[in-house]
Amino acid sequence: MHRCLLFCALFFPLSLKAQASLQQPFKECRINGSTTIYNYKTKKWLLSDSADAQVATLPASTFKVINILIALETGTIKDENEIIKWPGSTDTTLYGYRPEIYHDITVKEAFRVSAGWAFIEMAKKIDRKKYQYYLDACDYGNHNLAEKGADFWNFGVFAISPKNQVEFLIKVYEEKLPFSKRNIAILKNVMVTDTAPDYVIRSKTGWTKTNNEDLGWWVGYVQRKDNVYFFATRLIKPRSEVNANFGNCRKEITRNILRQIKAL
């Protein structure tokens, strides 16, 4: 899976030793995937796998990044503190998977804990033509909304590549999107997941199960005083293959590579 060849060499020259160091975190996690990074200051790409960086798959919950913007811009929600009403039973013992997320919840909390049901409820209120307009205007993914289910980012033919994820995040950072500055500011606030004296990370994870595969993401950017590093890590494994650390590896691999390039 790790083919950092001509494309990578042109955009971020790497020695064979450096290329091997990018591949090592994937080997340690016993997982296939790739990490795509863009150095904003030097305008160069760092790719652990140049071919995989171009392959589009379902975005899973990373779609919540653009989904919040669309929900805000269409007036579906007022702000990040709006409460989304849980439409199901109040008996959480009925839900075997993460029962703690099934209750009335703010948009900000739904993003933080990745309460997919809340974003599905929002999606039901947004006209598909509006989704199509914003996906086209943002050049987000393959623009294919053929999937009729409200949860089209987890199932069906809608897809985005790691490189496209990063390109979209750059537009978020630069505020070069068809959304108001207010709404982009709300998104940036909601996206903060890590803070340290010398950097802030804004990010979103994603995980879906489709075509007998587990598909996991971590996308976002590290903002430092002197630079910004954008990243998109995607892991893929057969569902029949047991790897209890699959979820953690999304961040472990990314952080390892970010440390290698002194972004963390």
pLDDT tens by residue, 235-248: 999 999 989 999 99
Task: Give, in degrees to the nearest 5, the angle at Cα 259 between 242 and 21.
Answer: 65
Residue 261 lies in a domain: no
Residue 86 lies in a domain: yes
CATH number at residue 159: 3.40.710.10
What's the whole-model pTM score?
0.91
pLDDT of residue 9: 39
pLDDT of residue 22: 84
Residue 163 lies in a domain: yes
Tell me if residue 61 is catalytic.
yes
Task: Output the 3-class SS for the chain.
Answer: CCCCCHHHHHHCCCCHHHHHHHHHHHHHHCCEEEEEEEECCCCEEEECCCCHHHCCECCHHHHHHHHHHHHHHCCCCCCCCCEECCCCCCCHHHCCCCHHHCCCEEHHHHHHHCCHHHHHHHHHCCCHHHHHHHHHHHCCCCCCCCCCCCCCCCCCCCCECHHHHHHHHHHHHHCCCCCCHHHHHHHHHHHEEEEECCEEEEEEEEEEEECCEEEEEEEEEEECCCCEEEEEEEEEEECCCCCCCHHHHHHHHHHHHHHHCCCC
Domain residues for 117? 56-193
Residue 148 lies in a domain: yes
Residue 45 lies in a domain: no
Q: What is the chain's pLDDT, residue by residue, as a tens digit (264 residues)?
A: 444 433 443 445 454 455 567 888 999 999 999 999 999 999 999 999 989 999 999 999 999 999 999 999 999 999 999 999 999 876 655 555 788 899 999 999 999 999 999 999 999 999 999 999 999 999 999 999 999 999 999 999 999 999 999 999 999 999 999 999 999 999 999 999 999 999 999 999 999 998 899 999 999 999 999 999 999 999 999 999 989 999 999 999 999 999 999 999
How many structural domains comprise the chain?
1
Residue 101 lies in a domain: yes
pLDDT of residue 98: 80
Residue 220 lies in a domain: no
Q: pLDDT per residue over 36-82, tens digit each?
A: 999 999 999 999 998 999 999 999 999 999 999 999 999 999 999 99
Catalytic residue among 61, 114, 161, 203: 61
Residue 79 lies in a domain: yes
pLDDT of residue 210: 85
